[in-house]
Protein backbone atom coordinates (compact mmCIF):
# COMPACT_ATOMS: atom_id res chain seq x y z
CA UNK A 1 0.00 0.00 0.00
CA UNK A 2 1.31 3.43 -0.95
CA UNK A 3 1.85 5.87 1.84
CA UNK A 4 0.66 9.47 1.47
CA UNK A 5 3.41 11.99 0.89
CA UNK A 6 3.01 15.76 1.09
CA UNK A 7 3.31 17.71 -2.17
CA UNK A 8 6.85 18.52 -3.33
CA UNK A 9 6.07 22.21 -2.96
CA UNK A 10 3.09 24.36 -2.12
CA UNK A 11 1.71 26.32 -5.01
CA UNK A 12 2.33 30.07 -4.63
CA UNK A 13 -0.48 30.59 -7.14
CA UNK A 14 -4.04 29.62 -7.95
CA UNK A 15 -5.29 28.91 -11.46
CA UNK A 16 -8.81 28.30 -12.73
CA UNK A 17 -10.96 28.89 -15.80
CA UNK A 18 -14.06 31.09 -15.67
CA UNK A 19 -16.19 32.16 -18.63
CA UNK A 20 -13.43 31.24 -21.05
CA UNK A 21 -10.68 33.20 -19.26
CA UNK A 22 -7.84 31.61 -17.29
CA UNK A 23 -7.42 33.34 -13.92
CA UNK A 24 -3.96 33.18 -12.40
CA UNK A 25 -3.59 34.64 -8.91
CA UNK A 26 -0.03 35.11 -7.69
CA UNK A 27 -0.26 34.89 -3.93
CA UNK A 28 1.12 37.48 -1.56
CA UNK A 29 4.83 36.86 -0.94
CA UNK A 30 5.17 34.29 -3.72
CA UNK A 31 8.73 33.45 -4.75
CA UNK A 32 8.58 32.30 -8.38
CA UNK A 33 11.57 30.05 -9.00
CA UNK A 34 12.03 28.10 -12.27
CA UNK A 35 10.36 24.99 -10.82
CA UNK A 36 7.22 26.96 -9.94
CA UNK A 37 7.24 28.79 -13.28
CA UNK A 38 7.43 25.45 -15.13
CA UNK A 39 4.43 24.21 -13.16
CA UNK A 40 2.44 27.36 -13.95
CA UNK A 41 3.28 27.11 -17.65
CA UNK A 42 2.44 23.40 -17.70
CA UNK A 43 -0.94 23.98 -16.06
CA UNK A 44 -1.86 26.86 -18.37
CA UNK A 45 -0.98 24.69 -21.38
CA UNK A 46 -3.02 21.80 -19.97
CA UNK A 47 -6.04 24.06 -19.52
CA UNK A 48 -5.67 25.53 -23.02
CA UNK A 49 -3.91 23.51 -25.68
CA UNK A 50 -4.66 26.20 -28.32
CA UNK A 51 -2.49 28.83 -26.65
CA UNK A 52 -5.13 31.47 -27.41
CA UNK A 53 -7.27 31.68 -24.26
CA UNK A 54 -6.71 34.96 -22.40
CA UNK A 55 -4.94 34.81 -19.05
CA UNK A 56 -5.93 37.32 -16.38
CA UNK A 57 -3.17 37.60 -13.78
CA UNK A 58 -3.89 39.07 -10.36
CA UNK A 59 -0.39 40.14 -9.33
CA UNK A 60 0.26 40.79 -5.64
CA UNK A 61 2.87 43.52 -5.02
CA UNK A 62 5.23 41.32 -3.01
CA UNK A 63 5.68 38.63 -5.68
CA UNK A 64 9.34 38.03 -6.54
CA UNK A 65 10.25 36.42 -9.87
CA UNK A 66 13.68 34.83 -10.15
CA UNK A 67 15.66 35.99 -13.23
CA UNK A 68 15.93 32.46 -14.62
CA UNK A 69 12.19 31.93 -14.10
CA UNK A 70 11.49 35.17 -15.95
CA UNK A 71 13.78 34.09 -18.80
CA UNK A 72 11.92 30.77 -19.00
CA UNK A 73 8.59 32.57 -19.14
CA UNK A 74 9.75 34.87 -21.93
CA UNK A 75 11.13 31.96 -23.97
CA UNK A 76 7.96 29.87 -23.64
CA UNK A 77 5.58 32.78 -24.21
CA UNK A 78 7.25 33.62 -27.51
CA UNK A 79 6.01 30.27 -28.79
CA UNK A 80 2.44 30.78 -27.56
CA UNK A 81 -0.13 33.48 -28.13
CA UNK A 82 -2.06 33.77 -24.89
CA UNK A 83 -3.27 37.33 -24.47
CA UNK A 84 -2.25 38.40 -20.97
CA UNK A 85 -3.98 41.00 -18.82
CA UNK A 86 -2.18 41.74 -15.56
CA UNK A 87 -3.99 43.45 -12.71
CA UNK A 88 -2.18 45.06 -9.81
CA UNK A 89 -3.26 47.85 -7.50
CA UNK A 90 0.33 48.64 -6.53
CA UNK A 91 1.92 51.49 -8.57
CA UNK A 92 5.49 50.16 -8.06
CA UNK A 93 4.49 46.69 -9.23
CA UNK A 94 2.69 48.20 -12.23
CA UNK A 95 5.86 50.11 -13.11
CA UNK A 96 7.90 46.90 -12.99
CA UNK A 97 5.39 45.12 -15.21
CA UNK A 98 5.45 47.98 -17.73
CA UNK A 99 9.24 47.80 -17.69
CA UNK A 100 9.00 44.05 -18.39
CA UNK A 101 6.65 44.78 -21.30
CA UNK A 102 8.98 47.39 -22.81
CA UNK A 103 12.17 45.36 -22.40
CA UNK A 104 10.90 41.95 -23.50
CA UNK A 105 8.38 43.21 -26.09
CA UNK A 106 6.03 40.24 -25.97
CA UNK A 107 4.77 39.01 -29.35
CA UNK A 108 1.36 38.42 -27.82
CA UNK A 109 -1.16 40.96 -26.49
CA UNK A 110 0.04 42.05 -23.03
CA UNK A 111 -1.56 44.82 -20.97
CA UNK A 112 -1.16 46.02 -17.40
CA UNK A 113 -4.19 47.38 -15.51
CA UNK A 114 -4.87 49.08 -12.20
CA UNK A 115 -8.52 47.99 -12.35
CA UNK A 116 -9.56 44.36 -12.15
CA UNK A 117 -12.79 45.17 -14.01
CA UNK A 118 -10.87 46.77 -16.89
CA UNK A 119 -8.50 43.79 -17.06
CA UNK A 120 -11.49 41.42 -17.11
CA UNK A 121 -13.19 43.41 -19.87
CA UNK A 122 -10.02 43.46 -21.99
CA UNK A 123 -9.56 39.68 -21.57
CA UNK A 124 -13.20 39.06 -22.57
CA UNK A 125 -12.69 41.28 -25.65
CA UNK A 126 -9.75 39.05 -26.65
CA UNK A 127 -12.12 36.06 -26.47
CA UNK A 128 -14.56 37.84 -28.78
CA UNK A 129 -11.79 38.70 -31.24
CA UNK A 130 -10.68 35.06 -31.31
CA UNK A 131 -14.28 33.91 -31.85
CA UNK A 132 -14.62 36.24 -34.84
CA UNK A 133 -11.32 35.00 -36.30
CA UNK A 134 -12.46 31.39 -35.93
CA UNK A 135 -15.80 32.17 -37.57
CA UNK A 136 -14.07 33.81 -40.53
CA UNK A 137 -11.72 30.83 -40.89
CA UNK A 138 -14.65 28.43 -40.80
CA UNK A 139 -16.31 30.28 -43.69
CA UNK A 140 -13.21 30.08 -45.88
User: Domain spans of the chain?
Assistant: 13-123
pLDDT of residue 139: 83
Whether the pLDDT of residue 23 is over 60: the answer is yes
Task: Please compute the mean of the pLDDT values over residues 28-47 and round it to a whole number.
Answer: 92
pLDDT of residue 87: 95
**Average of per-residue pLDDT values in the chain:** 87
Confidence bin at 58 (pLDDT 50/70/90): very high
Find all residues with CB under 8 Å of 64, minimum gap 6, and list them.
30, 31, 32
Which residues is 64 bridged to in the sheet? Answer: 31
Rounded to whole angstroms, the Cα distance separating 56 from 17 reads: 10
Task: Please compute the mean of the pLDDT values over residues 94-104 and round it to a whole number.
Answer: 88
pLDDT of residue 116: 94
pLDDT of residue 56: 96
Task: Please compute the mean of the pLDDT values over residues 77-94 and round it to a whole number.
Answer: 85
Whether the pLDDT of residue 10 is over 50: the answer is yes
Q: How far is CA 44 from CA 29, 51, 94, 107, in A?
A: 21, 9, 23, 18
Task: Please compute the mean of the pLDDT values over residues 101-129 and round it to a whole number.
Answer: 91
Task: Please compute the mean of the pLDDT values over residues 86-97 and round it to a whole number.
Answer: 92
pTM: 0.85
CATH assignment, 13-123:
3.30.750.24
Check: CB of residue 59 under 8 Å from CB of residue 99. Answer: no
Whether the pLDDT of residue 72 is over 90: the answer is no
Amino acid sequence: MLQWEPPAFEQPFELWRDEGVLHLVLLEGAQLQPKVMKEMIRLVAAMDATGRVPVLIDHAPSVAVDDSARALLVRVCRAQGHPVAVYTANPQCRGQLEFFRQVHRPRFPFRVFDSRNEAWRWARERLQIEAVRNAVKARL
